[in-house]
A = this chain, B = another copy of it.
């Protein structure tokens, strides 16, 4: 007799049909104020809670949106405490729309994405799948509303939200140039150059760097690009190379973790920051303000990124919202203590 109470029990107790109860729950068909109130009272009394799987079977939906992140995708800033904020933004937005978020890390090569169809996911948010990623066509083929974060995909059919990486990198580089630096090393990450466009985020930052050089009439020199992993260790190792490059007085790292590794590495070489070298990072991690010295960096509002993406996705799901577009979020340069005027070291040396 320990039977979960369902819509039929409510109907019976209220003396109405189950269709009416359903209508009350979903606020759909026509039902008089009086019966509505009665049904609602009964629902509360009985403590009825709907059986969502049943509803989902009938409606062919799931009220679930999937967030897909790469588990170990090379070239991503995988060690960053980056995803959490993003996820927090998504989750918050989804919950307002009575959706829930289902998270899954995927293996680029193998993953079949079958669960999307199986579970009848209502939408998908894909993080960090670049232009060349096999994931992109696979997701598109699913026929499910989707939005890509940090992807810079060329197809105008796809919904995207990205940071204005190019402007951010431009601002960072221009800041260094304004301080008198002429040769600025670049820590780009270690993917092969011909693949760089596939990692759109990094490519855009490279473009921003070039923009700023060009604007200042400075040459873009290939030997200033350091291809090392986008990690603390990579940045640390980069210090050796930076120190060996003649006339280089500044470095721009494409992530804060790299920048932190670099600062540490430079110090171990006996170099001081910003006295001997200026350093700029990218991301503005919450710790970047508290490193010593505090890191000059490009800030992005990751939480907002998540919020914007989910809002866009829900719009797609509900059929409202523009057919497809790319939303670009602003990047902001935050000047702290790792950057200073060029020539300080030279002045001392002379």
Contacts and interface: CB of A to CB of B under 8 A. Distances in A.
Interface of A: 49-54, 56-57, 62, 64, 71, 79-81, 83-84, 87-88, 91-92, 95, 100-105, 114-115, 117-120, 232, 236, 257, 260-261, 263-264, 267, 285-287, 289-292
28 contacts: A49-B114, A51-B118, A51-B120, A53-B53, A53-B56, A53-B57, A56-B57, A64-B102, A79-B286, A80-B81, A81-B286, A83-B84, A84-B87, A87-B103, A91-B104, A100-B102, A100-B103, A100-B119, A102-B103, A257-B290, A260-B287, A260-B290, A260-B291, A264-B290, A264-B292, A285-B287, A291-B291, A292-B292
A248 B59 CA distance: 66
B62 A57 contact: no
Pairs A-B, 9 closest by C-beta atoms: A81-B81, A53-B56, A84-B84, A53-B57, A52-B118, A54-B57, A292-B292, A260-B290, A232-B290
Nearest to A286: B79
What's the dominant secondary structure at chain A's contact region?
helix
Contacts of A289: 232
Given A88-B105, A91-B105, A101-B104, A290 B236 contact: yes
A76 B119 CA distance: 34
Contacts of A236: 290
A164 to B, nearest CB: 24
A249 B43 CA distance: 64
A289 B265 CA distance: 12
Contacts of A54: 57
B286 A232 contact: yes
Contact of A115 (B57, B100, B260): B100
A310 to B, nearest CB: 13
B232 A287 contact: yes
A57 B51 contact: yes
Given A51-B57, A118-B50, A286-B232, A101 B102 contact: yes
Given A264-B292, A287-B232, A92 B105 contact: yes
Contacts of A105: 88, 91-92, 95
Nearest to A291: B291
Contacts of A117: 49
Contact of A53 (B79, B95, B119): B119
A213 to B, nearest CB: 29
A338 to B, nearest CB: 11
A345 B40 CA distance: 73
A267 B293 CA distance: 10
Nearest to A231: B286
Nearest to A98: B115
Contacts of A291: 260, 287, 291-292
